[in-house]
């Protein structure tokens, strides 16, 4: 029973890390990367789809993305979707090709993105701590039902705490990596 609780907690904590990584992808650094556009949706025959499903996205150089929609009529739709997104980037269209230059980050915008990254990391830590609380609550319920002894309860809580410490340190490492990416000129 304890192993099931700790395994469930570990899986849920890993999902929190995955969500943090996805949220970090949305915070742009000064470099061009196709994943920046993952959150942008385009209207395609009446349904909303990610840009990557209606166009080819490539990195032209370190500061420019090139988007080539598969259908010529999608060019204005893709351009409109990028402008409506809250990414702060402006596409340039020439014929069938949309180029998205990544503006250089000023010190002020870098600090803003770092604040955003810290907020995302903190919410991931809160999620991990909530998972710890749930797991410890389940262990205490087992103790009340007399399914486990007090020693097993203590051992289970120690395991959950070790998992929590491991995942919180992983969040800290991811945050440090994102901060160094953002401060890189």
Question: Which residue ranges make up each domain of the chain?
Answer: 2-26+106-183, 34-101
- Answer positive or negative: Cα dihedral of 30, 35, 39, 41: positive
- Scanning the structure block, which residue is given the tokens 């890993």? 14
* Residues 10, 164: Cα–Cα separation, whole Å: 8
Rounded mean pLDDT of 100-115? 83
Pick the CATH number of 34-101 from 3.40.50.300, 3.40.50.20, 3.30.1360.40, 2.70.150.10: 3.30.1360.40
**Contact at 8 Å (CB) between 67 and 89?**
no
Q: Which tens digit of pLDDT belongs to each residue from 108-162?
A: 888 888 898 999 999 999 999 999 999 999 999 988 988 888 888 899 999 999 9
Topology of 2-26+106-183 in CATH?
Topoisomerase I; Chain A, domain 4 (1.10.132)
**Contact at 8 Å (CB) between 181 and 29?**
yes
Rg (CA), the chain: 22
Categorize the per-residue pLDDT at 30 as very low, low, confident or very high, splitting at 50, 70 and 90: low
Categorize the per-residue pLDDT at 185 as very low, low, confident or very high, splitting at 50, 70 and 90: low
SS3 for 184?
A: coil
Contacts of 72 (CB under 8 A, 6+ apart): 96
Look up residue 175 and give its two tokens.
Answer: 């945050």
Rounded mean pLDDT of 177-184? 84
Phi and psi for 85 in degrees, rounded to 5? -65, 160
* pLDDT mean across residues, the chain: 87
* Residues 177, 185: Cα–Cα separation, whole Å: 14
Contacts of 164 (CB under 8 A, 6+ apart): 13, 128, 129, 131, 132
The answer on pLDDT for 11 being more than 80 is yes
DSSP-derived letter for residue 78 is H
């Amino acid at each position: 029973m304890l192993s099931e609780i700790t395994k469930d907690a570990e899986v849920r904590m890993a999902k929190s890390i995955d969500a943090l990584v996805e949220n970090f992808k949305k915070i742009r650094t000064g470099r061009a990367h196709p994943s920046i556009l993952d959150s942008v949706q385009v209207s395609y025959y009446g349904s909303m789809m990610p840009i990557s499903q209606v166009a080819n996205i490539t990195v032209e150089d370190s500061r420019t993305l090139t988007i080539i929609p598969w259908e010529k009529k999608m060019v204005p739709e893709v351009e409109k979707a990028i402008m409506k997104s809250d990414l702060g980037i402006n596409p340039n269209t020439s014929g069938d090709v949309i180029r998205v230059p990544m503006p250089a980050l000023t010190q002020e915008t870098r600090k803003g993105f770092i604040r955003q990254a810290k907020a995302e990391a903190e919410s991931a830590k809160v999620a991990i701590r909530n998972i710890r609380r749930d797991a410890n609550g389940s262990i205490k319920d087992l103790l009340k039902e007399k399914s486990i002894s007090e020693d097993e309860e203590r051992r289970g809580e120690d395991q959950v705490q070790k998992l929590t410490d491991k995942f919180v340190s992983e969040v800290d490492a991811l945050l440090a990596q994102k901060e160094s990416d953002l401060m890189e000129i």
